[in-house]
């Protein structure tokens, strides 16, 4: 461009220097023809020079326009790329925001749970303190009594009233028994407090991890990196044993409200799948379901230990899994029965299930006496019963193998009280008694020979049952 301008300027200067011969021609009208011709030649040269200059100028301008076009194209390509990047960044940051919100919500949920656990722990601690106080009072009374007994024994010859001595002795024995019972309760409570504390610690770890994740996803400058990191951190968290809920109620407390199949991991156990029934009061873990006879329940010890059937249909969860969920205590067993005229029964009993070494001893208890309905499972006389199958006879009938005599595996005592794992009979049931007695029955609901239409057994922490 500069060169073009220089050329043009040069041409103009040349023109000025020649004194614009064409104008001069108009100025001297009296000049000769020869002179005129010379002037005309000079003017032609000038025109050539100018034309040449203009040509160069034109070329220069064209080059400049071409260059500018290329530059414009570059700039517009760059702009497009920039626009795309801005849109992508916008999307990424939106995704991150959503993820951050989800993490925050989870952290919040965990904080709530921590609060609940703290309350429970405080309650338990209070109870334990009360117990300890009671124990102290008892032992004071005990030592006073012992003192009195000693005094009486020392002055035995002088004391004619032997009845009073005997009475004091029986009082002392009574108090000693009470004291032992109290001690056992205190030990139980201490153990529960320890377990609660363990859970609380795990929750705390989880809350801290989540909080730091939320923090990180907020702070990280590179959007793309933080996105993948947060995702992998969440995935890691899901896979870690701390993350898995220990039962359906914990899932419920974390915000799961839909019944269905979930994976849980009780403390000191491998993860496994369960069917959770989410109700308004909490999350129940289903351990048995009969409804259509689609699964054969006439199985042996190993099958009853591991579990069988389909979680969405009929199934037995498995003694080992039930034990691992409920081993910490404080669980309720909820049994539901239904007959063919749609009458139903519903029982809730606190229970404890021992491990393999106890043959999965089922213990049930109640503050008051068992109701007639409940007495088909537990009675005040025999509230604890080991599990039996046809290949493991642990029942209380010496001459009979209840499981072989009937069908399936159950906590058989005398073969005649209940069996929810018996054979499934469609309606109408067989007429022969010896067949019907192999069925699913509950003596104190519809009698010994009535094959029930459906049954379900589920377990949940006592906290659920107290709510309903």
Number of other residues whose CB lies within 10 A of the CB of residue 393:
16
Nearer to Ca ion, 338 or 402 (CB): 402
Piece of the chain touching Ca ion by CB under 5 A; list 28-36, 51-59, 389-397, 453-461: 389-397
* Residue 366 within binding range of Ca ion, rule CB under 5 A: no
Q: How far is the CB of 461 from Ca ion (least distance, A)?
A: 34
* Residue 391 within binding range of Ca ion, rule CB under 5 A: no
Nearer to Ca ion, 320 or 395 (CB): 395
Nearer to Ca ion, 298 or 393 (CB): 393
Piece of the chain touching Ca ion by CB under 5 A; list 78-86, 89-97, 228-236, 388-396: 388-396
Contacts of 255 (CB under 8 A, 6+ apart): 109
Nearer to Ca ion, 366 or 397 (CB): 397
State the binding string over 149-188 for Ca ion (x if CB under 5 A, else -).
----------------------------------------
* Residue 397 within binding range of Ca ion, rule CB under 5 A: yes
Q: How far is the CB of 422 from Ca ion (least distance, A)?
A: 17
8 Å CB contact between 325 and 286: no
What is the token pair recorded at 219?
């702070």
8 Å CB contact between 443 and 231: no
Q: By CB under 5 A, what part of segment 38-97 binds Ca ion?
A: none
Nearer to Ca ion, 336 or 397 (CB): 397
What is the token pair recorded at 171?
């009082």
* Residue 395 within binding range of Ca ion, rule CB under 5 A: yes
Nearer to Ca ion, 309 or 386 (CB): 386
- Position of tokens 């001893």? 361
Q: Which helix (H) or strand (E) holds 275?
A: strand 272-278
Q: How far is the CB of 394 from Ca ion (least distance, A)?
A: 8
Q: How far is the CB of 399 from Ca ion (least distance, A)?
A: 7
Q: For the chain, what is the largest distance between any 2 Cα atoms, rounded to a whole number of angstroms?
A: 183
Where residue 422 falls (left for φ over 0; alpha for ψ -120 to 50; beta otherwise) is beta
Nearer to Ca ion, 120 or 415 (CB): 415
Piece of the chain touching Ca ion by CB under 5 A; list 51-59, 394-402, 415-423, 440-448: 394-402
Rounded to 10 degrees, the C-alpha dihedral 145/149/151/154 comes to -160
Nearer to Ca ion, 30 or 398 (CB): 398
Give me the residues paired with residue 234 across strands. Answer: none
8 Å CB contact between 100 and 231: no
Piece of the chain touching Ca ion by CB under 5 A; list 238-246, 312-320, 372-380, 391-399: 391-399
Q: How far is the CB of 393 from Ca ion (least distance, A)?
A: 4
Nearer to Ca ion, 229 or 393 (CB): 393
Give me the residues paired with residue 353 across strands. Answer: 362
What is the token pair recorded at 12?
């103009």
Q: How far is the CB of 466 from Ca ion (least distance, A)?
A: 38
Instruction: Please report the DSSP string for 76-132 in residue order.
Output: HHHHHHHHHHHHHHHHHHHHHHHHHHHHHHHHHHHHHHHHHHHHHHHHHHHHHHHHH
* Residue 448 within binding range of Ca ion, rule CB under 5 A: no
* Residue 415 within binding range of Ca ion, rule CB under 5 A: no
- Position of tokens 């020392």? 154
Alpha helices in 220-359 (DSSP H): 223-239, 248-253, 301-306, 319-326
Piece of the chain touching Ca ion by CB under 5 A; list 59-67, 124-132, 307-315, 396-404: 396-404
* Residue 393 within binding range of Ca ion, rule CB under 5 A: yes
Note the residues at the interface with Ca ion (CB under 5 A): 393, 395, 397
């Amino acid at each position: 461009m500069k060169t073009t301008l220089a050329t043009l300027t040069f041409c103009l200067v040349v023109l000025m220097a020649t004194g614009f011969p064409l104008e001069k021609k108009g100025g001297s009208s009296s000049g000769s023809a020869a002179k005129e011709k010379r002037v005309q030649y000079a003017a032609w040269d000038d025109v050539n020079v100018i034309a040449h200059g203009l040509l160069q100028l034109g070329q220069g301008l064209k080059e400049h326009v071409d260059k500018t076009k290329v530059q414009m194209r570059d700039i517009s390509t760059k702009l497009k790329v920039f626009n795309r990047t801005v849109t992508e960044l916008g999307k990424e940051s939106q995704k991150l925001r959503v993820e951050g919100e989800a993490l925050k919500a989870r952290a919040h949920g965990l904080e709530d749970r921590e609060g609940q656990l703290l309350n429970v722990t405080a309650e338990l601690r209070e109870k334990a303190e009360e117990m300890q106080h009671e124990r102290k009072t008892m032992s004071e009374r005990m030592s006073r009594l012992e003192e009195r007994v000693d005094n009486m024994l020392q002055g035995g010859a002088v004391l004619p009233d032997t009845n009073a001595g005997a009475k004091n002795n029986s009082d002392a024995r009574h108090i000693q028994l009470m004291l032992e019972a109290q001690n056992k309760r205190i030990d139980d409570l201490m153990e529960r407090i320890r377990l609660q504390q363990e859970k609380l610690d795990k929750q705390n770890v989880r809350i801290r991890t989540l909080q730091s994740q939320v923090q990180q996803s907020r702070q990280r400058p590179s959007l793309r990196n933080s996105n993948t990191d947060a995702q992998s951190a969440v995935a890691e968290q899901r896979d870690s044993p701390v993350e898995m809920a220990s039962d359906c109620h914990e899932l419920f407390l974390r915000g799961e409200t839909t019944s269905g199949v979930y994976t849980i991991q009780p403390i000191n156990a491998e993860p496994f799948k369960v069917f959770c029934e989410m109700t308004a009061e909490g999350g129940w873990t289903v351990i048995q379901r009969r409804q259509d006879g689609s699964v054969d329940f006439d199985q042996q010890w190993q099958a009853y230990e591991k579990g069988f059937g389909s979680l969405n249909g009929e199934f037995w969860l498995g003694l080992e899994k039930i034990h691992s969920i409920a081993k910490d205590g404080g669980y309720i067993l909820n049994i539901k029965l239904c007959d063919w005229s749609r009458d139903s029964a519903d029982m809730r009993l606190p229970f404890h299930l021992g491990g393999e070494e106890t043959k999965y001893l089922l213990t049930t208890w109640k503050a008051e006496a068992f109701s007639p309905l409940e007495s088909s499972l537990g009675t005040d006389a025999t509230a604890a019963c080991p599990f039996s199958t046809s290949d493991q006879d642990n029942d209380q009938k010496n001459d009979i193998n209840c499981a072989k005599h009937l069908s399936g595996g159950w906590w058989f005592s005398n073969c005649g009280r209940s069996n929810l794992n018996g054979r499934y009979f469609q309606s109408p049931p067989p007429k022969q008694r010896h067949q019907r007695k192999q069925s699913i029955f509950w003596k104190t609901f519809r009698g010994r020979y009535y094959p029930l239409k459906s049954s379900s057994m589920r377990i949940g922490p006592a906290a659920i049952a107290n709510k309903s």
